[in-house]
Chain A
Amino acid sequence: MTTDTKVIAPPTERYTILGWLKRNLFGSIPDSILTIFAIWLTYAMLKPAFAWIFGEARWEVIPDNLKLFMVGRYPAEYLWRIWLVLYLLVALVGFVWGVWVKKKETTGYVLLGIPIFLALLPFSMQIRLQILLLDVIGYMLYMFGRGENPSYKRWAIIAMLAYFPIAIFIIHGFGETGIMAKVEPNLWGGLLLTILLALLGIIFSFPIGVALALGRQSKLPIVSWICIGSIELVRGVPLITILFMMDLMLPLFLPAEIRIESVIRALVGITFFSAAYMAENIRGGLQAIPNGQREAAHALGLSAFHTMAFIILPQALRAVIPILVSQFIGLLKDTTLVMILSLFDVLGIGKAVLGNPDYIGTTKEVYLFVAALFWVISYGMSYASQRLETALGVGER
């Protein structure tokens, strides 16, 4: 008996727009009623919101105080240093994006969208041109990074490692006079301070978190006790308490002549707080690696260090990327608590601006703007991490 197997194409459904509308929104009389009601409700809710946003709102508070929101009391004559750091950042991000992500369509939308978006914003022409230039530089480096060159990956990693010391150096400066004169960290503020605290907190807490996670699993009792103790101590206390401790208690323990900048104290507090949580997240990743991986590495004669560095950690970290990104987004928002150290992060600047009699009654505008800034940065991190996961093939192998 012979059977005839035909290969049949899967069923396809094609709609015109009208067909889709009819099927999904107006399929039956109750459906149609619900659709019309939903449209009316949306309109009723959005109309006053749009009326406020495009009519009543006094948005001039934002461009008037833009410099404050962005950099706080950073001296205006050195603002070009911040721009320089920003140009370098955009170049770096463009390059890294090109090397690892390569995907073109979404990048194109983002790059086209930014200038159109900017044209709508009420910033001064000079700032708009600067941002346009940033956009162009980022795109050029992105195209450059897309080039198939195996050494680019190494350069990208070196550039990422080198960027932060260089950026801090440019922002901080050195010497008493000249174009690179020192700008005390207490003058840093606004979005600059928020981003610096968050990024440096992430960068420093990552290795500490990995070390704590590994130490917690150590067979040496003293090491594991110290790690468990510090993780549980820090996790058991709210961040605001740690920041208070750094502000009030630390000077008591240090000799009187040593005076640590508030920014540094805040950074240390944030770093330890974040590291304790990171340690537990990474431990989760470490435990998810099957024991067979360790056995296979040992059986090949790899040392304990090589096993950890080449086999266990890469897999564990890959597995916890989504959790780590969530934690970083949380950290970014937690930096608003540095207000209690009398530092002016972007939210603190918002409050200060509202204290100015010229801008009484602009509470909604200011807080909406600050919220939008946080949202853009948080979503940017989330989006970048999703792309990174795709590029690293998380969950596929």
Chain B
Amino acid sequence: MSRTSFDNQPPIIICRDVQKWYGNFHALRGVNMEVRKGEVVVIFGPSGSGKSTFIRTINRLEEHQGGQIIVDGIELTHDVRNIEAIRSETGMVFQQFNLFPHLTVMQNVTLAPLNVRKWEKEKAEQVALELLERVGIPEQADKFPGQLSGGQQQRVAIARALAMQPKIMLFDEPTSALDPEMIKEVLDVMIELAKSGMTMLVVTHEMGFARSVADTMYFFDEGQIVETGSPEDIYNNPQEDRTKLFLSQILQH
């Protein structure tokens, strides 16, 4: 995907000097980022570097204590209406899937459209079926999450997030809890989504995925963005020593 396709698009996420503490621990130390509509961003870095914390501040699962976050023109403040508005425009996929175990796959996917968007049941179910088709598991609609494999569960989670027709998708290490043979089926869905023009922020260590679909990569360490650039720049010509060290560690095998 060429960068020009979104270069003249307006920024949909603006983060300025985002700060976050856990007790005395300074988790985010002034993060600045602009994401344009249709851009696919991959965030990587060592564990504890604040990359998950950062992505979770964008839909307010974590509260930022300094700086500014503006999503789709709405600033994140303590105002619950702003938070709910941003959350309904932003889909999120978790490392641990977090499907609702007491609801069927179909109920998982239609719950938010029915109750937040107030859609008719028929419309919600039709959209849900289309999405399950898109992630490749329409035949599992009436099963419960516990009856599915990890890869299938994560694909349901993606369908569930897409059912709200979000403008932005956040992925927090979506393949880290999966068995190796299931990683590909989830990445395939994400690649297809990226190619369809969805704005995506992905925290991942899947370097093959990053290389094939990322527009911009951010390397996080110690709560800061250390280096940013296109996948070619990052892989072939990293500037910072910390980036080089980290890449050498994860690309060794």
Q: Which residues of A contact B (CB under 8 A)?
A: 290, 292-293, 295-303, 306, 310-311, 314-315, 318, 393, 396-397
Contacts and interface: CB of A to CB of B under 8 A. Distances in A.
Nearest to B99: A296
21 contacts: A292-B96, A293-B98, A293-B100, A296-B99, A298-B59, A298-B61, A298-B87, A299-B61, A299-B94, A300-B87, A300-B91, A300-B112, A300-B161, A301-B88, A301-B116, A303-B84, A303-B116, A311-B100, A396-B146, A397-B102, A397-B145
B111 interface: yes
B63 to A, nearest CB: 12
A301 B112 contact: yes
Contact of B111 (A293, A299, A300, A393): A300
B252 interface: no
Contact of A299 (B91, B102, B144, B145): B91
Interface string B159-173: 011001000001000
B101 interface: yes
Contacts of B115: 302, 306, 310
Nearest to B170: A299
Interface string B72-101: 000000000000100110111010101111
B177 to A, nearest CB: 11
A314 B88 contact: no
A293 B146 CA distance: 14
B102 A301 contact: no
Contacts of B145: 397
A17 B90 CA distance: 66
Contact of A301 (B84, B98, B157): B84
Nearest to B85: A301
Contacts of A295: 61, 94, 98
A77 to B, nearest CB: 50
Nearest to A291: B98
A130 to B, nearest CB: 41
Nearest to B96: A292
8 A-B pairs with the lowest CB-CB distances in the bound complex, closest first: A301-B88, A296-B98, A300-B112, A299-B92, A292-B98, A301-B87, A397-B146, A301-B116
Given A295-B61, A396-B146, A397-B144, A300 B160 contact: yes
A297 B98 CA distance: 9
Interface in B133-163: 144-147, 157, 160-161
Given A300-B111, A397-B145, 11 more contacts: A296-B92, A300-B88, A300-B164, A301-B112, A302-B111, A302-B115, A303-B84, A310-B111, A314-B102, A315-B102, A393-B144
Contacts of A311: 100
Contacts of A298: 59-61, 87
A51 B96 CA distance: 64
A306 B84 CA distance: 12
Contacts of B61: 295, 298-299
Contacts of B101: 315, 397
Majority SS at the chain B contact face:
mixed
Nearest to B163: A300
Given A295-B61, A315-B101, A315-B102, A302 B112 contact: yes
Nearest to A296: B98
Interface in B39-74: 59-61
Interface in B199-251: none
Given A301-B84, A302-B116, A292 B94 contact: yes
Nearest to A315: B102
A296 B98 CA distance: 6
A397 B100 CA distance: 10
A396 B100 CA distance: 14
A49 to B, nearest CB: 47
A311 B164 CA distance: 17
A153 to B, nearest CB: 15
A253 to B, nearest CB: 41
A293 B59 CA distance: 15
Nearest to A299: B92
A266 B152 CA distance: 54
Nearest to B62: A295
Contacts of A296: 92, 94, 98-100, 157
Contacts of B157: 296
Contacts of A299: 59, 61, 87, 90-92, 94, 161, 170
Interface string B170-196: 100000000000000000000000000
A291 to B, nearest CB: 9
A315 B99 CA distance: 12
A295 B144 CA distance: 20
A292 B157 CA distance: 13
Contacts of B146: 396-397
B158 to A, nearest CB: 12
B65 to A, nearest CB: 18
Contacts of B160: 300
A314 B111 CA distance: 14
Contacts of B84: 301, 303
A213 to B, nearest CB: 18
Contacts of A397: 101-102, 144-147
A391 to B, nearest CB: 13
